[in-house]
Amino acid sequence: MNHTTEDAPLRIGQTVPVFTARSTTGPFDLADYRGRWIMLFSHPADFTPVCTSEFVALAKASDEFEALDCALVAVSIDSLYSHLAWIRMIYDMTGTRIEFPIVEDPTMEIARAYGMIGPEASDAATIRTTYFIDPDGVLLASQTYPVTVGRSIPELLRLLKALQKVRGGKVYTPANWQPGDQMLKIPAETAADTFAGKNPTDWFYTPVKDKN
């Protein structure tokens, strides 16, 4: 495990810890995914209703994530054999194949390295976080949910697309942004720029067209 401050929550802009573990698709090494976007998401336990609904929804949306060059990676403290039994049950129940890797974390080492739980935690009830990692291995966004509320797949896709849009450092996305909507110019940082605009607000608030 490669991390600097054990058990501290990851911060946006930090390089995420890399890890190796067993998974439902075979031996897993997060370092192998460098160069791609990653959505790493955790769940507290297999055979839970909310997580089951999420995995079915994510599997059905997997082509949309793949089109954005984003790998889906799940992690749970349950064992590999529990994961395998769960995805077989999901297939028998819904006809949906879960083909993205589900990583086992029985010692909660990954959970602690990512700051999902504290050093004294004895269970995985709070392991319910989504991490958006860029191709350089940097955390760009994270979301944490309670065990009672399911994630919104359309919102996860929207957030991923927004992160990809702004990664070049040339634009921002406004509230309620959807692909194709206007974006926002990055605010000016000099006095000369504040006086250069036609309108008094141009220096800090200028909608621009989405060029892609």
Contact call for residues 152 and 57 (beta carbons, < 8 A): no
Catalytic residues: 51
